Amino acid sequence: MTVDSILTIIKDIIDICLVWTGIYFILKSVKNNVKFTLIFKGIIIIAIVKVISDLFDLTTVGLLLQYVIMWGPLALIIVFQPEIRSVLEHLGRSQLLGRHKVLTISQREKIVYEIGVALEYLKKHRIGALIVIERDTSLNEYIERSKKLYAEISNELLVAIFFPDNPLHDGGVIIQGDKVTSAGAVFPTTVEMKFSKRLGTRHRAAIGISEESDAIAIIVSEETGRISIAMNGDLNYNLSVEEAKMLILEELKPKKTAEFDYEIEEEEDGEEDE
């Protein structure tokens, strides 16, 4: 095998890896975006109808589909320009290594504990709050437009930020790693019609940021004191403090090491029993 043939094989491998990486990110974006999911389903239906028309020699249908296939991509770019821009921005904000992946088990437990204590107080006194935890997708775009803190996370700090007389209580808090990075952050609100019109601005902002990123958005209702968590464009409504803590702790676990962490915890529990 010559040097040229080896270089050719390496180039082919790199080429294939780049293509599959692009396909992976496209499919991931389609999965996390309702509108793109509908577009993807529509394309599959058109492809199936095209195959059927070719098999049964349906001239009129085939001609119409030919025009659709020819001009469809241009129409999609024009009609869905905002969604395409949103996906490109999402890819630009994505990080190869999420901040939560460097957290130890004790750090994750401390974060959940401090948030849990704060939620207890906020719920009891019906103080509205929006706490957003960054994961793989960077939230620097929103941090830049908010009040930067870079403080150690504590329940006292979270309660103080959302206290009604605080100038920052109307915005959201962003947590990166085990630090409260900023407060007073403003997030895009969801436009999805499947959610109740009775949801307030905080809930819609939480759902909105969960649609644009993989962040965990925790909401405390100012009117009812109910706790909800938005993730991946869905809303887990009216959770107890313990349910919220368990969900946050589970979601903060790095997916690749979640099983490993569970094994370590089992070993530690076994040692304590001894």
Q: Is residue 269 part of a domain?
A: no
- Cα–Cα distance for residue pair 267/120, rounded to 1 Å: 31
Q: Are residues 197 and 63 in the same domain?
A: no
Gyration radius of the chain over CA positions = 24
- Cα separation, 187 vs 52, whole angstroms: 46
Q: What is the dihedral of CA 25, 190, 111, 258, to 10 degrees?
A: -30
Q: What domain count does the chain have? A: 2
Tell whether 9 and 126 lie within a shared domain. no
d(CA 115, CA 174): 12
Angle at 175 between CA 244 and CA 208, to 5 degrees: 70
162 neighbors 122 (Cβ within 8 angstroms)? yes
Per the listing, tokens 């921005």 go with 89
Q: How far apart, in whole angstroms, are the C-alpha atoms of residue 231 and residue 182?
A: 20
* Listed residues 65, 93, 121: the one ending a domain: 93
- Among the candidates 51, 76, 93, a domain finishes at 93
Q: What local confidence, expressed as pLDDT, does residue 260 receive? A: 47
Residue 83 and residue 40 share a domain: yes
Residues 59, 172 within the same domain: no
Q: Does residue 273 form part of some domain?
A: no
Of 37, 66, 93, which closes a domain?
A: 93
**272 within some domain:** no
**Residues 106 and 86 placed together within one structural domain of the fold:** no
Can you tell me the distance from the alpha carbon of 240 to that of 219, in angstroms, rounded to the nearest whole number? 12
144 shares its domain with 29: no
Domain of 171, CATH number, reads: 3.40.1700.10
Going by C-alpha positions, the residue among 154, 104, 105 that lies closest to residue 131 is: 154
164 found inside a domain: yes
pLDDT of residue 70: 81
Measured in whole angstroms, the distance separating CA 167 from the mean position of its chain's CA atoms is 27
Is 254 exposed, middle or buried (CB count within 10 Å of its CB: 0-12, 13-18, 19+)? middle
CA dist 128 and 221 (Å) reads 5
Reading the chain (274 residues) residue by residue, the pLDDT tens digits are: 687 888 888 888 998 988 888 777 766 666 655 666 677 777 888 888 888 888 888 888 888 888 887 887 777 777 666 666 666 655 555 544 444 446 788 999 999 999 999 999 999 999 999 999 998 888 888 998 899 999 999 999 999 999 988 888 889 999 998 899 999 999 989 878 788 778 889 999 999 999 888 899 999 999 999 999 999 889 999 999 999 999 999 998 876 544 445 444 445 555 544 4
Q: What pTM did the predictor assign?
A: 0.64
Whether the Cβ atoms of residue 207 and residue 233 lie closer than 8 Å to each other: yes
**Residue 89 structure tokens:** 């921005």
**pLDDT tens-place string over residues 102-141:** 678 899 999 999 999 999 999 999 999 999 999 888 888 8
Quick check: 128 and 220 in contact, CB under 8 A? Answer: yes
Residues 20 and 131 in one domain: no
The residue segments making up the domain with residue 233 are 99-260
| pLDDT tens by residue, 158-174 | 999 999 888 888 899 99
Task: In the chain, count H helices and then E strands.
Answer: 10, 7
User: What is the Cα–Cα distance from 266 to 177, expressed in whole angstroms?
Assistant: 25
CA–CA separation, 188 and 240 (whole Å) = 26
Calculate ∠ Cα 206-163-238, nearest 5°: 40
Burial class of residue 175 (count of CB atoms within 10 Å of its CB; 0-12, 13-18, 19+): buried
Say if residue 220 is in the same domain as residue 248: yes
